């Protein structure tokens, strides 16, 4: 998996929300970080599991921890941290990519802060011993179904994009990816032989109506907080799972009359993200399409390593 910061949040009664106002270039003091959770005395303490993982992950998590400690000191919130192994680091230490103790600790925490997973060292491992398997197990174990992947081109970094300045400048896209369904988790899957003895591999792309509805609601609500435009990406001209996807998303649109909904086939969406990325505001799509499109969108900014993501459950 790419080196990126991902926040996997367990359902909370109160949502942590950090807001910082931009400071001008001539500002002589640090911008103040305000935390909504600080207003409720009963929610002053939060436990965060740190999963540095592999590659740049430990470096990223170290800095992120420092930032959270600064925020907590400013707002009087007590963050308790517990660092656990995961991914390649866990493989080297325990022989599995997601030790039971790591998952248990994460499930008991208020939030999980994940660095990066994977590396060439483990590429030839069997599937159940790959670092990425631990990531899928973590998502399933935490029941985080909504992956928010922003791609924003900052003015001072526009030259880092491989696209022309006039194409990349001002891009601000949010990809809402369904995270615990589809072809990555669908059954049946595996290896077999066909009627003439040839070896085959197979996977199943499957979605239920409730799975589509819940991710679509997250996407509509996200679009409502942004610029009011939502593009649902599918392959409804070929795939039955995508036909249901489009049907359910279209039906939900009546509950959000203030949101401009459009649909786009995934191959066209991949092209349009490079041709004219500013046409997009919020994108909602399935697991595998979201995996690909969010990485593509991140490169508009210059590097996937500069972008965070959040994986959320039912109550966050």
Regarding whether 136 and 2 lie in a shared domain, the answer is yes
Are 285 and 230 spatial neighbours (Cβ–Cβ below 8 Å)?
Answer: no
Reading phi first (left if > 0) and then psi (alpha if -120 to 50, else beta), residue 5 is in beta
pLDDT band for 44, please (50, 70, 90 cuts).
Answer: confident
Are 306 and 257 spatial neighbours (Cβ–Cβ below 8 Å)?
Answer: no
Would the pLDDT of 23 be above 90? no
Percentage of the chain surpassing pLDDT 90?
82
Residue 154 lies in a domain: yes
Confidence (pTM): 0.81
Among 123, 142, 161, the domain-final residue is 142
Residue 37 lies in a domain: yes
Percentage of the chain surpassing pLDDT 70?
86
Would the pLDDT of 308 be above 70? yes
Residue 311 lies in a domain: no
Give how far Cα 203 sits from Cα of 4, 82, 140, 183, 187, Å.
Answer: 27, 36, 18, 6, 7
**Domain containing 105 — which CATH number?**
3.40.718.10
Q: What is the distance between the alpha carbons of residues 97 and 118, in angstroms, rounded to a whole number?
A: 10
Regarding whether 83 and 227 lie in a shared domain, the answer is no
Regarding whether 159 and 51 lie in a shared domain, the answer is no
Q: What is the distance between the alpha carbons of residues 301 and 314, in angstroms, rounded to a whole number?
A: 30
pLDDT band for 17, please (50, 70, 90 cuts).
Answer: very low
Among 95, 126, 142, the domain-final residue is 142
Regarding whether 252 and 164 lie in a shared domain, the answer is yes
Residue 315 lies in a domain: no
Residue 182 lies in a domain: yes
Regarding whether 262 and 182 lie in a shared domain, the answer is yes
Q: Looking up tokens 């660092």, which residue turns up?
A: 83
Regarding whether 40 and 137 lie in a shared domain, the answer is yes
Regarding whether 88 and 30 lie in a shared domain, the answer is yes
Q: How many domains does the chain divide into?
A: 2
- pLDDT, one tens digit per residue, over 65-120 is 999 999 999 999 999 999 999 999 999 999 999 999 999 999 999 999 999 999 99
**Segment 303-312 mean pLDDT:** 85
Would the pLDDT of 39 be above 50? no
What's the domain range around 57?
1-142
- pLDDT, one tens digit per residue, over 234-254 is 999 999 999 999 999 999 999
Regarding whether 114 and 59 lie in a shared domain, the answer is yes
Regarding whether 110 and 13 lie in a shared domain, the answer is yes
Residue 96 lies in a domain: yes
Catalytic residues: 184, 235, 267, 291, 295
Among 93, 121, 142, the domain-final residue is 142
Are 98 and 84 spatial neighbours (Cβ–Cβ below 8 Å)?
Answer: no
Give how far Cα 64 sits from Cα of 60, 71, 134, Å.
Answer: 6, 11, 22
Strand, helix or coil for residue 300: helix
Residues 6+ apart with CB under 8 A from 104: none
Regarding whether 135 and 151 lie in a shared domain, the answer is no
**Segment 3-28 mean pLDDT:** 40
Regarding whether 122 and 159 lie in a shared domain, the answer is no
Regarding whether 71 and 113 lie in a shared domain, the answer is yes
């Amino acid at each position: 998996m790419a080196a990126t910061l991902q926040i996997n949040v367990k359902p909370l009664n109160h949502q942590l929300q950090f807001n910082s106002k931009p400071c001008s270039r001539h500002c002589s003091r640090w911008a103040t970080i305000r935390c909504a959770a600080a207003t409720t005395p009963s929610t002053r303490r939060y436990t965060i599991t740190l999963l540095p993982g592999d590659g740049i992950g430990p470096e990223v998590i170290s800095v992120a921890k420092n930032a959270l400690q600064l925020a907590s000191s400013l707002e009087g919130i007590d963050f308790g941290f517990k660092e656990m192994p995961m991914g390649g680091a866990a493989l080297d230490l325990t022989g599995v990519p997601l030790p039971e103790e790591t998952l248990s600790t994460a499930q008991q925490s208020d939030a999980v802060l994940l660095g990066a997973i994977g590396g060439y060292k483990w590429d030839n491992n069997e599937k159940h011993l790959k670092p990425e398997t631990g990531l899928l197990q973590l998502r399933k174990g935490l029941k985080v179904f909504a992956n928010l992947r922003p791609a924003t081109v900052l003015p001072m970094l526009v030259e880092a994009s491989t696209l022309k300045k006039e194409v990349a400048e001002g891009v601000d896209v949010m990809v809402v990816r369904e995270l615990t369904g589809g072809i990555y988790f669908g059954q049946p899957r595996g290896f077999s032989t066909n009627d003439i003895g040839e070896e085959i591999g197979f996977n199943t792309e499957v979605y239920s109506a409730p799975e589509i509805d819940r991710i679509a609601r997250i996407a509509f609500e996200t679009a409502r907080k942004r610029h009011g435009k939502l593009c649902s990406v599918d392959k409804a001209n070929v795939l039955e799972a995508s036909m249901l996807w489009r049907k359910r998303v279209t039906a939900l649109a009546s509950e959000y009359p203030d949101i401009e909904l459009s649909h786009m086939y995934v191959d066209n969406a991949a092209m349009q993200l490079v041709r004219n990325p500013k046409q997009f505001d919020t994108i909602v799509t399935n697991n595998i399409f979201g995996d690909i499109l969010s990485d593509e969108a991140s490169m508009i900014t210059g590097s996937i390593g500069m972008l965070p993501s959040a994986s959320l459950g039912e109550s966050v």
